[in-house]
Each structure stands twice: as structure tokens, then as C-alpha cells.
């Protein structure tokens, strides 16, 4: 992907996935308020700011408005900040307002056509299992606890909502060693959208380094190709970025989750 295409793809991503974002669950609401696009959901789910169009004059007031709104709506909310967002010191303004950054990730993209023909043989003893129900989601959550060391009830709720209400928007898969789940990943899609998002790819420690992550990426790429989606997108950790670069993904920038607890 050359520089000209990179700039166009990032602009397309900002427009479709951030500025004009759609809710990630039936229970969620996405709305634009001034220079901010936010998602809110009562009960379990992801709450936060997806996109902003701010400057030095408007940023602090917009931050204060979101803090006030989410303080009564959620136990925690996230401002998803991208490296090209403005003003340039927006991260420091969030810090001053009580937000705490999680580790930065690399926003990466790849043409689906470049990966759809990739053939990766499963490692010996590994089979793939498509997740279609709550039992499968719970197996994925068990893998995530082992791989990432944390529970994510918001992700569990989001997956269950999609599988129940919009199954065409999600493809979730487990890598199984016999009856034991050892890796899990999902792909989220929007009908008519340009991007399929790869999320949650994680493998338990003793099964890493055997090509399972690569297998799950290739599997999802073929599914995206079958749906006519032109691009794959990943928020890549430092661990997954080198693997993705070898597969042909290109960095589009950085993204940092800034988290804030309510004041009351």
C-alpha cells in the first residue's frame, strides 16, 4: 500500500468506522453531539468516544461535556484517541481531565484480496470451530482470560448481542486442541462497509509460536473476501504487529484507549 492509498484508506476508515459509526450492539446508541461521536449503552457494553473534530478552543469543553454525560451512564468510558486526531495535545488534555491511557496500539489495514488466497495448514492437532451460541462465547472468554489475563464482560455482552440480533455482523472462531480451546478470534463487519475488523486474536501461552494466529487471520480473510469486503483492519498490539506486517498489513497510525472512571 503506497502513501497515496494509505491516506485514502485512513480517511475512508475515519469516515465509515468513526464519524459515521453504527452501534456495535442492538442495545447501544451512537450519536453525534457537537464535535464528538459517542456510543452509549445501558448495562453491559462499550461506552465511549469514537471520533472527534476539535481544536484548541473547543477541546476542553467537549471533554467536560462527555465526562458529565458518561458519569451518570457508565461505570467506565473510553476516549479512543488516534494519532492524527486534533488538537495535537488532546491526549494531555484528556489526562488533565482524569483519563488514564492504556498501551498504544497500531491501526493497521490490508487489502482482503492480498490475503484471501493465503493458505495456512492448521498445526497438528488443531481444528477450527465456528462460534454460534453462548457456550461458544464462554469458551472464547476462557481463552481470553488465559491469553490476556483479564475478564471482558463488555466483549461477552457485545458478542452475544450480535449473535442474537445481527449474526451477519460477526464471525467468531475457536482453535481447538481436541476438546480444549487454545486460541480465539472474531471478525466484525457492517453490511455494505469497506472494512472487516479483526478483534480478540489471542492464544494461550503454551500454544504460541505454532502459526495459530496466522491461521485465524487467513480464515477470516477468506470469509471477508466471500462477502466482498475490500479491507481488513486491526488495532495491533506490539506482539501482533510484526506478524501482521509479515502478512502484508500496513500501519495507518496509532490508537490509544484513554479510560476514565466516573466521579460519583
Domain CATH number, residue 165: 3.40.630.30
Is pTM beyond 0.95 here? no
Instruction: Report which of 18, 22, 46, 24 is spatially closest to residue 163, judged by C-alpha positions.
Output: 24
43/154 same-domain check:
no
C-alpha separations of 76 from 34, 48, 67, 124, 221 in Å: 22, 9, 10, 42, 33
Would you call 161 helix, strand, or coil by DSSP? Answer: helix
- pLDDT tens digits for range 108-152: 999 999 887 778 889 999 999 999 999 999 999 999 999 998 888
85/114 same-domain check:
no
- pLDDT tens digits for range 227-262: 999 999 999 999 889 989 999 999 999 999 999 987
pLDDT at 264: 58
159/248 same-domain check:
yes
C-alpha cell belonging to residue 215: 491461521
As a whole number, the mean pLDDT across the chain is 93
pLDDT at 73: 55
Banded model confidence at residue 16, pLDDT cuts 50, 70, 90: very high
94/138 same-domain check:
no
- Checking if the pLDDT of 92 tops 70, the result is yes
pLDDT at 80: 98
Banded model confidence at residue 167, pLDDT cuts 50, 70, 90: very high
* Mean local confidence (pLDDT), 47-54: 96
Q: In this structure, are residues 61 and 28 in contact, taking their beta carbons and an 8 Å threshold?
A: no
73/20 same-domain check:
yes
Domain around 127: 110-253
H helices of the chain, in order, are 3-13, 59-71, 90-96, 112-116, 134-148, 153-165, 212-226, 241-247
Number of CB atoms found within 10 A of residue 101's CB: 14
Q: In this structure, are residues 72 and 38 in contact, taking their beta carbons and an 8 Å threshold?
A: no
Backbone phi, psi, residue 20, to 5°: -110, 35
pLDDT at 61: 97
What letters, b where the CB count within 10 A reaches 16 and e where it falls short, cover 3-27? eeeeeebbebbbebbbeebebbbeb
Banded model confidence at residue 263, pLDDT cuts 50, 70, 90: low
135/100 same-domain check:
no
Could you give the number of structural domains in the chain? 2
122/227 same-domain check:
yes
171/56 same-domain check:
no
210/93 same-domain check:
no
pLDDT at 170: 95
184/137 same-domain check:
yes
93/128 same-domain check:
no
Domain CATH number, residue 22: 3.40.630
The pairing of beta strand 195-203 with beta strand 77-82: unpaired
201/162 same-domain check:
yes
- Checking if the pLDDT of 74 tops 80, the result is no
Amino acid at each position: 500500500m503506497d502513501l497515496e492509498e494509505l491516506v485514502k484508506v485512513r480517511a475512508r476508515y475515519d469516515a465509515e468506522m468513526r464519524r459515521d459509526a453504527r452501534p456495535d450492539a442492538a442495545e447501544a446508541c451512537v450519536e453525534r453531539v457537537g464535535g464528538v461521536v459517542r456510543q452509549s449503552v445501558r448495562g453491559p457494553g462499550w461506552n465511549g468516544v469514537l471520533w472527534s473534530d476539535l481544536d484548541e478552543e473547543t477541546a476542553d469543553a467537549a471533554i467536560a461535556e462527555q465526562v458529565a454525560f458518561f458519569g451518570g451512564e457508565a461505570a467506565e468510558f473510553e476516549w479512543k484517541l488516534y494519532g492524527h486526531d486534533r488538537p495535537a495535545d488532546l491526549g494531555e488534555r484528556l489526562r488533565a481531565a482524569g483519563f488514564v491511557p492504556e498501551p498504544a496500539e497500531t491501526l493497521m489495514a490490508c487489502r482482503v484480496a492480498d490475503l484471501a488466497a493465503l493458505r495456512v495448514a492448521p498445526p497438528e492437532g488443531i481444528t477450527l470451530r465456528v462460534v454460534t451460541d453462548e457456550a461458544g462465547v464462554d469458551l472464547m472468554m476462557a481463552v481470553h482470560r488465559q491469553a490476556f489475563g483479564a475478564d471482558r464482560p463488555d466483549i461477552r455482552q457485545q458478542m452475544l448481542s450480535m449473535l442474537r440480533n445481527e449474526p451477519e455482523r460477526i464471525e467468531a472462531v475457536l482453535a481447538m486442541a481436541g476438546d480444549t480451546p487454545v486460541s480465539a478470534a472474531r471478525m466484525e463487519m457492517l453490511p455494505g462497509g469497506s472494512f472487516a475488523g479483526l478483534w480478540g486474536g489471542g492464544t494461550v501461552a503454551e500454544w504460541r509460536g505454532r502459526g495459530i494466529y496466522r491461521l485465524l487471520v487467513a480464515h477470516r480473510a477468506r470469509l471477508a473476501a466471500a462477502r466482498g469486503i475490500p479491507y481488513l483492519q486491526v488495532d495491533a498490539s506490539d506482539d501482533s504487529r510484526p506478524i501482521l506486517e509479515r502478512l502484508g498489513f500496513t500501519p495507518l497510525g496509532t490508537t490509544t484507549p484513554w479510560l476514565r472512571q466516573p466521579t460519583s
